[in-house]
Amino acid sequence: MIKKSILIKIITLKSIILFLFAGCSNGTNETAQLACSLDDPCNIRFPHVTAPSTPKGQAAALFEELAEARFPGRVTVDVYPSSQLMTDDDSLPALFAGEIQMIAISLSKFDRMTQAFQIFDLPFLFPNIEAVERFQNSDTGQNLLGTLNDRGFQGLAFWHNGMKEFSAPIPLRVPEDANGLKFRIMESDVLEEQILNMGGSPQKMALGEVYQALQTGVIDAQENTWSNIYSAKYYEVQPYIMETNHGYIGYLVAVNPDFWQSLPEDVRTGLEEVMDEVTQWGNQRAEEINLRDRAEIVASGDSEIITFSEDELAVWQQSMRPVWEIFADGIGRENIAIAQSLN
Ligand code: LMR
């Protein structure tokens, strides 16, 4: 396996420049490698930012195992979890430039490239993972998979993590309790407006920096899924977790279209079958993993979990509606209506 330090250097200025010009491109680029000749196995480097125990960590590991078992000696997959290789921000230009071959990045983080995925960030649009699943499996949802194909990101699947909760140094029983708190958020304008709407101060930050920022008081609060809160140990430094289930974290699993088309046809279709199998397995397990990690947090006794009655949650939902209005036209009101009809 190539050393981490060398691979990090692979993220050259060239890859970033290529990416910046992605808007003018038809999605082809010169650097995607030709892959999988008989004496040169095809290597898929697949970095991501969460721990191996999370829904994404487990699905990525299964993809590696099944892909290599299906194509022994012809395909190798190297998964790099926990931001070991690079941040999500760096992996976008790296995939575009062909320096890595697969990503699974939170839909929120494609915000600068498309407004279509902002639907997944609208607070309280989806009541649970099952509702997200129905929307993603609808024709509208499946069309979203191809949103970034001509920008150099061919969508292969949506993978779930889970529903988001807030954590904070004080209990947030109503949105106004967040007044004045600094919240870490992912790179998403919707999430920025969501926090502003609560009277908080949003700070976009990479996942790998959050624990220390919470510990040192650079930020006060954050939002994430149970599996990320547990595996990244935020519960150790956040005395309260609010079980609002106010939003969704899921991923676009994407490849560089040039790379994908360069694969021998049997390898490409075989890997797509493996991806389907892994997606089904992972998406069925994601909720269970989050519930397991919620139970671990309860057992730790480090963080108190604040739960809400339906009436109390209705207050949160109502207060977030102005955020929808800001983004509804960009997302497409018809898509929001379809998501609501599948709730
Ligand atoms: C985050 O940055 O909070 C998420 O994108 C992490 C993840 O990939 O689940």
Rounded mean pLDDT, 176-203: 98
In this structure, which amino acid lies at residue 216?
Answer: T
C-alpha 228 to ligand 1 mean position (Å): 7
Does residue 110 contact residue 158 with C-beta atoms inside 8 Å?
no
Q: Are strands 248-255 and 102-106 parallel, antiparallel or unpaired?
A: antiparallel
Q: How confident is the model at residue 9 (pLDDT cuts 50, 70, 90)?
A: very low
Residue of 58, 79, 85, 186 with the most ligand 1 atoms within 8 Å of its CB, for mutation: 186
In this structure, which amino acid lies at residue 138?
Answer: S
C-alpha 16 to ligand 1 mean position (Å): 21
Q: Is the CB of 49 under 6 A from ligand 1?
A: yes
Residue of 158, 228, 233, 289 with the most ligand 1 atoms within 8 Å of its CB, for mutation: 228
Ligand 1 atom with minimal separation from the 224 CA: 3
Q: What pLDDT sits at residue 19? A: 52
Q: Is the CB of 191 under 6 A from ligand 1?
A: no
Q: What pLDDT sits at residue 35? A: 55
Q: Is the CB of 167 under 6 A from ligand 1?
A: no
Q: How confident is the model at residue 36 (pLDDT cuts 50, 70, 90)?
A: low
In the chain, % of residues over pLDDT 70? 89
pTM: 0.91
* Measured torsion, CA atoms of residues 133, 138, 142, 143, in degrees rounded to the nearest 10: -140
Q: How confident is the model at residue 1 (pLDDT cuts 50, 70, 90)?
A: very low
Question: What digits encode the pLDDT tens for the residues 43-87?
Answer: 999 999 999 999 999 999 999 999 999 999 999 999 999 999 999
CA 176 to chain centre: 27
Domain of residue 313, CATH code? 3.40.190.170
Question: What digits encode the pLDDT tens for the residues 253-278?
Answer: 999 999 999 999 999 999 999 999 99
Q: Is the CB of 238 under 6 A from ligand 1?
A: no
C-alpha 34 to ligand 1 mean position (Å): 31
C-alpha 63 to ligand 1 mean position (Å): 19
With 50 as the cut, is the pLDDT of residue 110 above it? yes
Residue of 88, 204, 226 with the most ligand 1 atoms within 8 Å of its CB, for mutation: 88
C-alpha 203 to ligand 1 mean position (Å): 14
- What 3 state SS string does 38-70 have? CCECEEEEEECCCCCCCHHHHHHHHHHHHHHHH
Q: How many domains does the chain have?
A: 1
Does residue 79 contact residue 64 with C-beta atoms inside 8 Å?
yes
Report the 10 Å Cβ neighbour count for 316.
Answer: 20
Q: What pLDDT sits at residue 276? A: 98
CA distance 163 to 246: 7
Partner residues linked to 163 by β-bridges = 248
Q: Could you give the residue ranges of the DSSP H alpha helices within the chain?
A: 4-10, 13-20, 55-70, 88-96, 129-137, 139-144, 189-197, 210-216, 226-231, 257-262, 265-300, 310-331, 333-341
Domain enclosing residue 310, as ranges:
4-341
Q: Where are the beta strands (DSSP E) in 87-236?
A: 102-106, 154-168, 182-185, 201-204, 221-225
In this structure, which amino acid lies at residue 287?
Answer: E
- Rounded mean pLDDT of the chain? 92
